[in-house]
């Protein structure tokens, strides 16, 4: 039976509705660290589940990770952005899992929960008594999400991994960046997509459990997720046996599927695959009707043959006006598919972003007004809400032990004396 979580002590936002998100009433034991696992569990929290983050007594290593890609992530109050951005909406319980009483606490929590998520190397959970086979004996309905680098089977299933190695093994470093013949650093995209995939896999297991009342183990890896992210590029390559090609902007086979720099240094992008259909209207919009009748450019095949010269012409054209001016001209022509190339700082001011709540305002208890990315799922009846910031280490240990697990204050004193909790 699903239990409604007691979120009263965690709600810091102004919206006080009792039910939010389609997973309201579910409880998740979140034994994850770094990024892969926390992305998944934060999405489950955004969807309304009560997520209890299980940390060691010194905390998730991400709490001490104060530099990311050469940029400081340190925030006031000894907080850091890396941890804060991945762990909002969660409760924290700090437990020593190598201590028998600490392990007892987590197993008792598993018995009262719906989902268990971990992203440790294969074998670690099993050695501590927290593998799927052990936990399903405690709770047959538990859905057990396991996040790994290379999958649960195969010669490298126990190999340690981080996002970059998963990106490398999956073939992704060759297609993601500039077409300059060098592998590109994806900046932990593998962690993000793998966390999303694990969340989706868990949701599928929940649907199955609702029909059968049986839990199961769910496996998701960096390797498999990044291959899936390759999408149609990989799918077509496997079917045709041909190497998928990259695209150099200056030699794009279709100049109408390309981006151009405007006079203000900003970029504009076009996505018109049926280029013969759009070419006359596009040329009208840029005031270059001569390109419509020029035999070098009036057909798709000819534009492809002469693409380098044509893109040079278009580069000069777009360099003559600002992006906003070009956008106005494009909007005057029916059907031109274009968009501004934005960076992260454009997004909070983008009305599409704010109206759809892809970024939300939040009053952080220590930082004051901040903005959060929101899981971009829209539900008509159970809308998502951002209700709490990332927890302090062990912030909810006593609350969970007493309210959820039924321990007494004497038990808490005993656990503290034994060193199993903070």
115-118 vs 27-31, strand pairing mode: parallel
Q: How does the average pLDDT of the chain come out, rounded?
A: 87
Q: In the predicted model, is pLDDT for residue 245 greater than 80?
A: no
Q: Supply angle C-alpha 287, 291, 295, rounded to 5.
A: 170
β-sheet bridge partners, residue 145: 117, 218
pLDDT digits (tens, 9 = 90+) for 349-391: 999 989 999 999 999 999 999 999 898 999 888 999 899 999 9
What is the value of pTM for the model shown? 0.86
Residue 327 has pLDDT above 80, yes or no: yes
Residue 148 sits at the vertex; the CA angle it makes with 146 and 152, to the nearest 5 degrees, is 80
DSSP 403: I
* pLDDT computed for residue 305 by the predictor: 94
Q: How far apart are CA 268 and CA 412, in angstroms?
A: 60
> Residue 244 in contact with residue 234, Cβ under 8 Å?
yes
pLDDT over threshold 90, residue 296: yes
- Reported as a single tens digit per residue, the pLDDT across 46-95 is 999 999 999 999 988 888 877 777 778 888 888 888 889 899 999 999 99
What is the DSSP code string of 173-230?
GGTSS-SSSS----SSHHHHHHHHHHHHHHHHHHHHHHHHS--EEEEEEHHHHHHHHT
Which tens digits make up the pLDDT trace of 300-321?
A: 999 999 999 999 999 999 999 9
């Amino acid at each position: 039976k699903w239990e409604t979580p007691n979120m009263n002590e965690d709600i810091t936002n102004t919206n006080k509705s009792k039910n939010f998100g389609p997973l309201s009433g579910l409880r998740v034991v979140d034994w994850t660290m770094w990024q892969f696992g926390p992305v998944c569990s934060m999405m489950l929290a955004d969807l309304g589940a009560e997520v209890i983050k299980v940390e060691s007594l010194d905390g998730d290593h991400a709490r001490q990770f104060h530099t990311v890609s050469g940029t400081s992530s340190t925030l006031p109050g000894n907080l850091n952005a890396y941890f804060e951005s991945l762990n909002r909406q969660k409760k924290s319980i700090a437990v020593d899992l190598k201590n028998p009483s600490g392990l007892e606490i987590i197993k008792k929590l598993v018995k009262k929960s719906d989902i268990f998520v971990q992203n440790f190397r294969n074998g670690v959970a099993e050695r501590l008594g927290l593998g799927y086979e052990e936990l399903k004996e405690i709770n047959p309905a538990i859905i057990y999400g396991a996040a790994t680098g290379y999958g649960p089977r195969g010669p490298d299933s126990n190999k340690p991994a981080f996002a970059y190695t998963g990106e490398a093994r999956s073939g992704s470093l060759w297609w993601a960046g500039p077409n300059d013949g060098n592998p590109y650093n994806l900046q932990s995209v593998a962690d993000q997509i793998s966390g999303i995939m694990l969340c989706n896999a868990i949701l599928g297991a929940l649907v199955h459990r609702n029909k059968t009342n049986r839990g199961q183990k769910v496996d998701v890896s960096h390797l498999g997720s990044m291959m899936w992210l390759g999408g149609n590029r990989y799918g077509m390559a496997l079917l045709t046996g041909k190497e998928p090609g990259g695209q150099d902007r200056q030699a794009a086979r279709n100049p109408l599927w390309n981006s151009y720099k405007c006079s203000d240094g900003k970029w504009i992008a076009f996505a018109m695959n049926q280029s013969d259909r759009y070419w006359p209207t596009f040329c009208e919009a840029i005031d270059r009707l001569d390109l419509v009748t020029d035999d070098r450019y009036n057909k798709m095949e000819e534009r492809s043959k002469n693409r380098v010269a044509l893109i040079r012409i278009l580069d000069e054209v777009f360099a003559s006006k600002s992006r906003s001016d070009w956008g106005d001209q494009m909007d005057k022509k029916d059907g031109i598919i274009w968009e501004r190339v934005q960076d992260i700082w454009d997004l909070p001011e983008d009305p599409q972003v704010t109206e759809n709540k892809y970024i939300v305002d939040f009053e952080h208890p220590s930082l004051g007004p901040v903005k959060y990315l929101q899981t971009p799922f829209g539900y008509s009846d159970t809308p998502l809400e951002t209700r709490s910031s990332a927890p302090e280490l062990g912030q909810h240990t006593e609350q969970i032990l007493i309210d959820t697990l039924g321990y007494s204050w004497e038990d808490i004193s005993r656990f503290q004396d034994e060193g199993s909790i903070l």
